[in-house]
Amino acid sequence: MDEDREHENPAAWSGRLPLETSGALAPDPAPHAGKAPLKREPAADFHGTGHRERLRDRLIEGGAEALADYEVLEFLLFGARRTGDTKPLAKALIKRFGSLPAVLNASPDALMQVSGIGRQSVGVIMIATAAARRMARAQVRDQPLLSSWNALIDYLAIDMAHLTRERVRVLYLDSKNRLIKDEHISEGTIDEASVHPREVIHHALDSGASALILVHNHPSGNPEPSRADIQLTHRIAEAGRLVGITVHDHVIVGKEGHVSLRARGLMGGA
């Protein structure tokens, strides 16, 4: 049974052999004839404390880069599993989703399809993701985004690069290019999203925005803009010009990186 689920259900532990105060398994007071004796292991090996302490010390002394991706996950899973080896489960997650960022961005339902993952493990993975997103968001809050471009790209990549569905969002900015609102306006299938230029500009006016940045992801991982991406950008930029709303850029995010349509000269005179 999944240790996550055992921890959620104390009754699942009933009937197990008690532990002596030394931490070793207590002897069976009345072993059944013909059965092999229980294998007894040292308490430190049973709990894996030595390995966990070594991993912790490497993290503290060497920083995040001292751990491989699977070891980061392994460490996270310590929070859900009080004992035992979490390395096989960490490696299974990365094998299933392809990378550490993909694991952190996976949905709870997808995570729990991996054998051994229960709600407690999902919880520790999701809280790590939430912390990373909030830290990235703090780097762009209350700052002119056009002069904090690298922080903005980090923020968008953390949130969108590993999505399996296409999502369109708009960053609405004030007259000093500070973020007023970050709004998801469309989520479609894996290869299309429906965006209405009038709706984008209407929301800008309602928000009191002076400018905006369009953002969407390519679930394929390749951020190269399509003809439809470029045409949509031109339509929104033209609608914005009619009412004094500047469209600064359209950023496309994927696992393989990002593309700025302005940097490519594809904004159509916006």
CA pair distance 153, 253, nearest whole angstrom? 9
For residue 224, what are the domain limits?
Answer: 143-260
Last residue of a domain, one of 101, 121, 140: 140
Q: What is the pTM of this model?
A: 0.63
Considering the domain architecture, whether residues 151 and 233 belong to the same structural domain is answered as: yes
Q: Same domain for 180 and 254?
A: yes
Domain closes at, from 140, 164, 193: 140
The answer to whether position 246 is within a domain reads yes
Question: Is residue 48 within 8 Å of residue 83, measured between CB atoms?
Answer: yes
Judge if 164 and 232 occupy the same domain.
Answer: yes
Establish if 129 belongs to a structural domain.
Answer: yes
| pLDDT, one tens digit for every residue, the chain (270 residues) | 444 543 444 444 344 433 333 333 344 444 444 544 433 333 333 345 788 888 889 989 988 889 999 999 999 999 888 888 899 999 999 999 988 888 988 889 999 999 999 999 999 999 998 888 888 777 777 778 777 888 888 888 888 888 888 889 999 999 999 989 999 888 876 555 678 899 999 999 999 999 999 999 999 999 999 998 999 999 999 999 999 999 999 999 998 999 999 999 999 765
d(CA 7, CA 219): 36
Residue 36 lies in a domain: no
Does 147 share its domain with 238? yes
3-state secondary structure of 7: helix
Tokens of 157: 């990549």
Query: Would you say residue 52 lies in a domain?
Result: yes
One domain, residues 103 and 129: yes
In a shared domain, residues 82 and 153: no
Do 119 and 151 fall within a single domain?
no
CATH of the domain at 113: 1.10.150.20
Same domain membership, residue 222 and residue 160: yes
- Residues 102, 130 share a domain: yes
Structural domain total, the chain = 2
Q: Backbone dihedral region of 218: left (phi > 0), alpha (psi from -120 to 50 degrees) or beta? A: beta
DSSP letter for each residue of 87-152: HHHHHHHHHHHSSHHHHHTS-HHHHTTSTT--HHHHHHHHHHHHHHHHHHHHHHTTSBGGG-HHHH
CATH number at residue 244: 3.40.140.10
Backbone angles phi, psi at 25, to 5 degrees: -65, 135
Residues 256 and 168 in one domain: yes
Looking at the structure, do residues 181 and 214 belong to the same domain, yes or no? yes
